[in-house]
Amino acid sequence: MDNYGVPPNLAALNSLLSVFCKPKNIRKVQEIFDKMKDKFSPDSKTYSILLEGWEKSPNLPKARKILRMMADNGCNPSIVTYEIMVDVLCKAGRVDEALEVVREMDCLRCIENLIEEAVETFLEMEKNGIKDDVTTYNALIVAFCKTNKFKDVF
């Protein structure tokens, strides 16, 4: 990042990793991550970018290693992280393990928690006079529909 005059921070690192993942250069992405991981506290987005790269490769052992590293560093998986891991497992023919990940995700109530946070944020925005728009309503409607909470859509 220094070579390009970009101040090193987590957002810049995530953008760099994401760009390199597009053409399936996951080994280069992993190398960059390994060099930079001590300078920043990687977040779930960082780990999800790496997981997605290994998913495209595909390399289940490397994806598992990233997920373990994430847990070891105390970073909680996001919905995106879980979705990528389910995809990796399914592509590797490990459907039973993928179902376990889905069950774990369901047990943690990730989706419901995120929707509750989104609704709280929405209500806080209204309370503070911030105007909502079609994008805001669409995001909430999609979230309610994905969790089969159709009554909350209206």
Q: Tell me the helices (H) and strands (E) count for the chain, helix number first.
A: 9, 0
Measure the CA dihedral 134/140/143/144, to 10°.
-120
pLDDT tens per residue across span 36-67: 888 888 999 999 999 999 988 888 999 999 99
* Predicted pLDDT of residue 56: 87
The model scores a pTM over 0.85 = no
Q: Are 89 and 98 in contact (CB under 8 A)?
A: yes
* Predicted pLDDT of residue 65: 95
Query: What's the token pair of residue 135?
Result: 């994008």
Instruction: Name the CATH superfamily for 2-103.
Output: Tetratricopeptide repeat domain (1.25.40.10)
pLDDT (tens, 9 = 90+) of the chain, 154 residues, equals 666 676 778 888 888 788 878 657 899 999 999 998 888 889 999 999 999 999 888 889 999 999 999 989 988 888 788 889 988 998 888 888 988 887 777 666 556 666 777 777 778 888 888 877 777 777 777 776 766 665 655 5
- Distance, in Å, from the CA atom of 71 to the CA atom of 69, rounded to the nearest integer, reads 5
Write down the domain spans for the chain.
2-103, 112-153
**Integer CA distances (angstroms), 90 to 9, 65, 80, 84, in order:** 34, 17, 15, 10
Residue 68 belongs to what H/E stretch? helix 60-72
* Predicted pLDDT of residue 148: 61
* Predicted pLDDT of residue 23: 59
